[in-house]
Amino acid sequence: MPHVTDIFRHPLKSHGREALQLVALSRGETMPWDRCWAVAHEASTARW
């Protein structure tokens, strides 16, 4: 049976990671606080 040995989240998209010892996951939901923030510069066309 598969099991998780390490789990990381990335609170700021594409900028580092945070190792977690424990996280509550819910079926059909994203990991809490994973990729919640992003950085865009003035020339960006990104829309949130």
Instruction: Tell me the per-residue pLDDT of 19-40, one tens digit each, with 9 for 90 and over.
Output: 999 999 899 998 888 888 877 7
Residue 14 reports pLDDT greater than 80: no
- The answer to pTM > 0.85 is no
Average pLDDT over residues 7-28: 87
Residue type, 43: A
What's the Cα-to-Cα distance from 45 to each of 8, 20, 21, 37, rounded to whole Å?
A: 28, 33, 36, 16
**Could you state, in order of their start, the residue ranges of all structural domains in the chain?**
1-43
- The answer to whether residues 36 and 14 touch, using CB atoms and an 8 Å cutoff, is no
pLDDT of 16 reads: 82
Short-list 15, 14, 18, CA closest to 6: 18
CB of 22 closer than 8 Å to CB of 31: no
